[in-house]
Every structure is written in C-alpha cells, then in structure tokens.
Structure 1
C-alpha cells in the first residue's frame, strides 16, 4: 500500500510532465492505478518517483518508483492515466475519407486530447480545404494523422530554398527534382549544378538545415 504523500508526489510529477507539452488553456487530470498485487516490496525509508526514459507524459503511461534508502534497493513502475482536456476542432457529423473540409463540417468541443495520438487543431481556419485520409466519427477530433499530406510543388518547378546553419541563413532558388510533399525530404538542384536534400515546408518552399 502506497503512502498518501507518495501518491501525491506521483500525481504532481505526472501533472508537471504533462503540462510541459500541453497547449495553453488546457486542464490536466491524473488517474493513478495500483501496483501489481503480487509484488512484495521490502520496507523503504525513501521512495523516489520518476518518469522512465521514453515513457509518454500523456495518456496511459507509467511512473517509476525507486527505493533509494532501504534494506533492498527496488525499482518498480506504477500505471497512470493522464488526461489533457482542451477545446479543439472536431467533426460536426460523420465524415468520409476523401472529403475536403469546410467550415460547416467542423465544430469546437472540449475533449481529452491525450486519449489518442496525433496533434489536434484549435483553429478551424487551418483545416479549410484539407482532405481527410480516413473517416471521422461525429464529435471526433480532427488530428494531423487523419489528414492527407499536401503537395507543395511538382518535380521540375522552381522553388525557394532557405539554407540555414549555426548563426546564418541564406535564400536561393533551385529546381525540384521530385514532388514536394508536406513534411517530407526532397532533392533540389541549384543553378551551379550542385544537388542537395531539404524539407518541403510550404508553397514552393524548401528548408535545408546544415
């Protein structure tokens, strides 16, 4: 049985970790589970809660508990569920895959944005004209993975390339050697004949980080 003070420290740790990446104006709620009933832990004077490396701070997760002062140094994990409630864009009605989103098809609602993976949207204007890659249920949040990636330019088009490195940034023009798909790498050829790989970031725009 965990001490109430330790449970409160676990709650505060989980809340702090969730708030570090939660959008402004959201509310975080933590539900703490139970240790495995089969565990037989030696008495411990000092238990340190921690977020294990690689463990998500949102949704179903686990908080580590390590004994730092006891007859035996044990290390276990405690299940937690972290909800992050916020007002985001949702589908106003069931929407099929392939539909181009319009204002009438979208609404705002308070949901647990940590319940599923994928970035959500707080401004419906950012979604107008975007195409759904999969169907959405009524009141389901419109998340980034549900949207088809946009093609910013075609192979052969002239694009603006922003080359950036530590302490400098320059702009240049180049020819795209393949289609520029949102968020994907694309090769470009400069007037000098040199080729390079960058990231398609906008309408006829490529970013190349050195």
Structure 2
C-alpha cells in the first residue's frame, strides 16, 4: 500500500513539475496516433483491405514532458492478429519518454476459405479454394489471404466448407517419401558430384533426411533441395 501511495505521489509530482513547461498533451498523442493509423489504413487500402480504427482513452489531464521532436508511433504487436492492439508512442528528444495507447483496429478483406469439406491429408487444389470477406485480424491464428500459399499444401485435419484457412491447418507435403530413389549432390562451391541414393525417411524441402548411397552402401545425412534431390557438403 505504501509503495502504491509513493508511486502515485511520484507521478503527480512529475506532472506538476512539468506543468509549467509546454507539455505533451493527450490531444497531441491522439493526433499522432490518428495520423499513424490513417497512414496504415491508406497503405492497406492499396492492398484491397478496409481498415477502421478508434483510438483508446487517455486521461485528459495527462501531461508528459514536452517533446522537441515529432512523436514516434508504432504498433507494439501484430495488428493482423488482434482487433485490440496497442500503439507505442514515444519521444526521442532531450527528455525521452514512451507510453502505450490501446486502440481498436478492424481489417476487413478477402481471405481464403474452403469451397467444400476437406479431409485430413488431402492435397489442396484450386477447386478446393474460394474467397470470402472477413475481419481478417479477428482470426487469432492469422487468416491466409493468398491463394499461392495454399495450392499444393496438405490438410493437417478435416474442415467444413467456408472455414477460413489458417497456418495451423496446413502441412507442407513431403518432397521425398521413405524408399524413394533420389539424386545425391555432393557440393563444394560451384563444383558438385552426383550419385544415386535411397531415402530412409520422408522429408520436406529444407529438411534433413538419412539417405543410403546405392554405390557405397553408406548412410549419409542430406538436406532436401527439391523433390527427388538431396545435397550434402563435400
């Protein structure tokens, strides 16, 4: 309780001590926040999204040290994953300070949805995809808005028609299946030597996989670079 009283007194003392100067007011903070959000809305409009926003509430008596530079405003989190982000408002002048301003932001636009029920393990094709207008940032796991991010992906679980696609619903299909014959490239700079091998496990592009070299019968760990191709350092 004493700590709380002390902190409150310290804050009031700071405000009183700066009141005689030309202090940064709540109105100035709102103005900087609105300019930032308006610019964000205009940028997203160019990408086909509609943004509505509302600044949070500050005590009208708020008074911070005067800032001899323009206030800097950024999102403190990802506005595409919540409708209630906060803005970080800061002064980098001679008497620096920073504060958080809660705001409401809705981003509406087309997101990719399932055009029909989809099963676990199903590989996505163009016919499985459709679009629908949604509040994109109300979907906590992040709505997918681009068709090219979905075609060829595999469903992690089944979903109903109209379900918005999110990253957690998808699996990157294996570029190599266990038992596949592959080309092993031993590479050093621009020089490489190729040999034939057999994959001992399934893996996607960029992943490591054990491969048996069919010429030497040795087992090596290689990185998948493309379907049917792996690479090892020389």
TM-score normalised by the chain length of structure 2: 0.58
Q: Which has the higher strand share?
A: 1
Give the 4+ runs in structure 1 shifted more than 6 A.
Answer: 162-165, 207-210
Query: Which residue in the other structure is 2:3 paired with?
Result: none
Please list the CA deviations of residues 147-175 of structure 1 after superposition, one character each: whole Å capped at 9, or x if unmatched: 3442332234222457788x858584544
Give 2:147's aligned residue: 122
Q: Is the 8 A contact 2:186 2:233 kept in 1?
A: yes
List gaps (5 residues or longer) in structure 1. Answer: none
Determine whether 1:98 maps to 2:109: no
Q: Output aligned runs, 1:156-195, within 5 Å.
A: 156-160=179-183, 168=190, 172-173=194-195, 174-181=197-204, 184-188=207-211, 193=218, 195=220
After superposition, give the CA deviation of every residue in 1:103-145 in whole Å (9 maximum; x if it has no partner): 6654332334443426444259825xx6532343442222342
Which of 41, 60, 78 is equivalent to 2:101? Answer: 78
How many pairs align?
Answer: 198
**More helix by percentage:** 2
Name 1:151's counterpart in structure 2: 174
5 Å matches for 1:62-73? 62-69=86-93, 73=96
CA offset at residue 187 of structure 1?
A: 3.5
Larger Rg over CA atoms: 2
User: What RMSD in Å do the two structures reach over aligned CA positions?
Assistant: 4.4
Distance 1:185 1:121 in 2: 28
CA contact (8 A) 1:160 1:171 kept: no
In the alignment, the residues of structure 1 paired with residue 60 and residue 232 of structure 2 have an alpha-carbon distance, to the nearest angstrom, of 54
Residue 73 of structure 1, CA deviation: 3.1
* SS of aligned partner of 1:8: helix
